């Protein structure tokens, strides 16, 4: 298993309970084929440029271990989740 870091930018209009639900969904997905080490909600930050007409977003950082073939599925879930406006997954 490899170590990865993933940052997602979430719609800034989402409430805390919605962010918790999204965090649990992603953590559960990662734990199917790996292990989440840390999750950090970095709060709202101003974006460098508008993304989908948003000027700010809520940043969430996930550090985890996973099998390389499970990353494609994780990114697919990120793409189809409406609340996520931008994401990146990087191998450490």
- Residue 80: its pLDDT value, please? 94
Q: What is the pLDDT of residue 1?
A: 87
The order of strands in the sheet holding 34-51 is: 34-51, 54-66, 2-10, 84-91
Q: Which residues contact 62 (CB under 8 A, 6 or more apart)?
A: 5, 6, 7, 8, 26, 27, 30, 36, 38, 39
- Sign of the CA dihedral running 41, 58, 43, 22: negative
pLDDT of residue 33: 86
| Number of independent structural domains in the chain | 1
User: What is the pTM (predicted TM-score) of this model?
Assistant: 0.89
Here the CATH number for the domain that contains residue 43 is: 3.30.70.60
Q: How does pLDDT run across 15-71, given as a tens digit for each residue?
A: 999 999 999 999 999 999 899 999 999 999 999 999 989 999 999 999 999 998 899
Domain range for 16 is: 2-56+65-91
Please write the tens of the pLDDT for every residue from 1-18.
899 999 999 999 989 999
Query: Which residue shows structure tokens 């997954």?
Result: 89
């Amino acid at each position: 298993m490899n170590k990865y870091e993933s940052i997602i930018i979430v719609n800034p209009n989402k409430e805390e309970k919605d962010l918790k639900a999204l965090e649990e969904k992603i953590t559960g997905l990662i734990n199917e084929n790996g292990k989440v080490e840390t999750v950090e909600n970095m709060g709202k930050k101003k974006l460098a440029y508008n993304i989908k007409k948003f000027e700010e977003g809520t940043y969430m950082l996930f550090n985890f271990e996973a099998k390389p073939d499970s990353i494609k599925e994780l990114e697919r879930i990120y793409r189809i989740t409406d609340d996520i406006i931008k994401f990146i997954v990087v191998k450490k």
